[in-house]
Amino acid sequence: MGLMMFLLSMYFLCSEGSGKTLVTLMLLELVAVSSAGVYAFSSGGGNMGFLFVIFCLMGVEVSILVSVFVSVVRHKGDTRVKGVSLDGVEWG
């Protein structure tokens, strides 16, 4: 399910064209997940490492859903949505 959400968000992201903030957001999410995985495996694994990775992935999925929402709104022709920042969805 997570892989399907990621592929769907990448499709919307690539078809959007002017979503520079979304591309930056996706790259930051990938860096966060990879660093979470490195931390979990370097700390000997265990339950705490597993929970750390799960919470990071939950944050990534929320950001991906917001990105998909913004790109769907833009595809429908609504130009009021400017993009996604760390403060939330920017409306024009």
Asked if the structure places residue 11 within a domain, the reply is no
The answer to the question of residue 6 being in a domain is no
pLDDT > 70 in the chain, percent? 16
Average pLDDT of the chain?
Answer: 64
Cα 85 from Cα 71, distance rounded (Å) = 14
- Is 9 inside any structural domain? no
Q: Does 63 reside within a domain?
A: yes
The tens digit of pLDDT for each residue in 8-51 reads 666 665 655 555 566 666 666 666 666 666 666 666 666 666 66
**What domain range is 43 assigned to?**
20-91
Please measure the distance between the N-terminal and C-terminal CA atoms of the chain and give it in whole angstroms.
Answer: 33
State how far Cα 87 lies from the chain centre. Answer: 14
Residue 68 domain flag: yes
Domain count for the chain, please give it. 1
Query: Is 70 exceeded by the pLDDT of residue 70?
Result: yes
Flag whether 74 is in a domain: yes
| Dihedral, CA of residue 88, residue 13, residue 59 and residue 53, to nearest 10 | -160
The pairing of strands 81-85 and 88-91 is antiparallel
Residue 60 within a domain: yes
Q: Residue 15: inside a domain, yes or no?
A: no
For residues 59-84, give the mean pLDDT: 69
Tell me 85's DSSP state: E
> What is the predicted pLDDT for the residue at 11?
62
